[in-house]
Each structure stands twice: as C-alpha cells, then as structure tokens.
Amino acid sequence: MAIAYPLDESVPTRRWRTLVRHVPLFPSLILTLLVLTAVCAALLAPHSPTEGDIMRKLVPPAWMARGTWDYPLGTDRFGRDVLSRIIYGSQVSLIVSLLAIGVAGTLGTLVGLIAGYRGGITDAILMRLTDIGLSLPTILIAVVLVAVSEPSFRNVVLVISLLLWPRFARQIRGEALGLKEQDFVALAVVAGRSSAWIISRHIFPNVVPTLLVICTIQVGYVILLEGTLSFLGVGVPPPNPAWGLMIADGRGFLATAWWISLFPGLAMLLTVLAVNLLGDWLRDRLDPKLRQI
C-alpha cells in the first residue's frame, strides 16, 4: 500500500516522514549510545568506577550548590563518581544480556525445534521440562545459588539463562509445529533427508525472524532481572558498578543524596524502553500479518 503525502509537503519533509515511519530513531539512538558507552568506557569515564575519595563523598551534581564539574553527576557515599559507575555499569548490563540470551537462546531454540518437529513422546517430555523451567521462581534460585557459592558474574548469567530458555522453547516449538506441515518439508522427507538436515536447512531458517524478535524483547527483561538480583545482593557482587547495585547503594540516601539512585535508574529505564520499542518494531516488520509496505 503506497504512502499518501499532503500535496504541499516538501521533499525533505517527506523523506523525514518516511525515515520516522520505517526507522525507530529513539531506540536506535539509545541502544547505539549504550553500545558505544560500553565499548569506550575506559575512554569516556572521568574516574575509576571502584576507587573513591572519602573526603568527597555525597558531592551533589555539578549544577547544584557544592557541586563540581569534576563529578558531573555527583558522588556516592564512598566518594565514587556516579557518572563513571553508570558508564562502566553499561558494560555489565550489555555483557550479561549477550551471554544470558546467547546461552538461553541456543538451548531454548534447540529444544523448541526438536520438540516441534519430532512431536509425540519427545515433544511431551521436552514441553514438561519447559513447563518446569517456566515455573521456577527467580529469587529462590538466586538465594539457593548464593547459599552454595558466593555471588558472582557467572552465577548471574547462569540464573538468568535457566529462567530464560523456556521462553525461547515455547515460541520456537509453536513455529516448528506449523512449519513441519509445509509442502517443502514433506518433499524433503520423501527425498530421504534426515531429521537433522530438515531442521537445519528448512525449519531453523524460517524461525530466525521470530528468534530475532524474542532476543530483542528479552534484552530488556534480562537487564531488569540483573538489576533486581544486584539490588537484592544476590547478583553482581560489589564493588562492581552494576546499575542495580548503585540503586541499592542509594536507597538509604533518597532524601539527601537522591542522585545516587536516580541516574542509574534512569539509565536502566531508557535502555529497557528502547529495547522494548525496537522489539515491537521488529515484530511489526518481520511478521507478514502486521507488516505494512
């Protein structure tokens, strides 16, 4: 369906409307900024994220009284620069998201493809395991892991991956159920192709758009979950500059040093919002039922 423009609209205005229609500018800018910040953290951060000056603790942001541009967003109770910790915190969020979604997506996609294509008892067993995974409580798993080992980056990725893979499995299994009934799959079966060949050559390529949408949407969930675990003290251990830890550090100073929690909270909010908007856009563009030409 062609796009109708007002007759008095200039060419640059039409181009801008087309760009806004087809490119999610806000999420793209936010996520690009996040990636660049994480990659160039060592160049962008004005101070060390873990070392502080106790003589400069609770310094307010630069635009407030007693503030200084040496610490644009102020300092925390240990005299650590809030801006530097937010910048390095983007690394934690990005790395946890990539690793957790990579592990969970690989496992969940494999389970979903096998369950959807094979069907029968295989499907029943794998889907019951998926149901068990969906029912596992987040906080309980985190507490159990902390009981047997100290909080660590590895444990955060492990917990999130265990909670995330069933979401991939359910969606991919539904796609595989419909695809295996298509004529091109039936022809491959008649030709004597193995199940592994059919899954890798016919089923998997057709679920990639759905997989991309799931991965994009789950990034926001992973960032929130990592922040929640860190906030509760069962995630990334201090003094690492995780956003959830920063929010937890400032909860006792909301009346006097609100900037300690506010700015990392805003960073998390904008990132999750941008990822969700990008996921919705990808779904609309990749789903033939929703896509508009």
Q: Under a CB-based contact definition with an 8 Å cutoff, are residues 9 and 52 in contact?
A: no
What 3-state DSSP class applies to 81?
strand
Alpha helix positions (H), the chain: 11-22, 25-39, 41-44, 82-118, 120-135, 138-148, 153-179, 183-190, 195-198, 204-231, 243-250, 259-286
Spatial neighbors of 211 by CB under 8 A, at least 6 apart, are 105, 109, 168, 172
CA 116 to mean position of chain CA atoms: 26
Residue 22: the pLDDT is: 60
Per-residue pLDDT of the chain (293 residues; tens, 9 = 90+): 444 444 444 545 554 455 445 667 788 888 888 889 888 988 988 888 888 888 888 889 988 888 889 899 989 888 899 999 999 999 988 898 899 999 999 999 999 999 988 888 988 999 999 988 888 787 777 777 766 777 778 888 888 888 889 989 998 998 888 888 888 888 888 887 888 888 888 888 888 888 888 888 888 888 888 888 888 877 888 888 888 888 988 888 888 889 999 999 999 999 988 888 888 887 777 665 554 44
For the record, the structure tokens of 274 come out as 């941008």
* Domain spans in the chain, listed from the N-terminal domain onward: 25-50+65-286
Quick one: which of 190, 1, 17 has its CA closest to 9? 17
1.10.3720.10, 3.40.50.2300, 3.30.470.10, 3.40.50.970: CATH of 25-50+65-286: 1.10.3720.10
Q: Does a cis peptide bond (omega within 30 degrees of 0) precede residue 239?
A: yes
- How far apart, in whole angstroms, are the C-alpha atoms of residue 135 and residue 106? 20
Q: Which residue has the tokens 């990725």?
A: 157
Residue 288: the pLDDT is: 54
DSSP state at residue 54? G
Q: Under a CB-based contact definition with an 8 Å cutoff, are residues 73 and 263 in contact?
A: yes
For the record, the structure tokens of 235 come out as 């995630």
Residue 200: the pLDDT is: 85
**Inter-axis angle of helices 25-39 and 82-118, nearest 10:** 110
Q: Which whole-number Å values give the CA distances from 66 to 58, 60, 75, 287, in the listed order?
A: 10, 7, 12, 54
- How far apart, in whole angstroms, are the C-alpha atoms of residue 117 and residue 111? 10
Q: Under a CB-based contact definition with an 8 Å cutoff, are residues 198 and 241 in contact?
A: no
* Burial of 32 per CB tally in 10 Å (0-12, 13-18, 19+): exposed
Give pTM, 2 decimals. Answer: 0.81
DSSP state at residue 201? I
| Alpha-carbon torsion (32, 37, 40, 44), positive or negative | positive
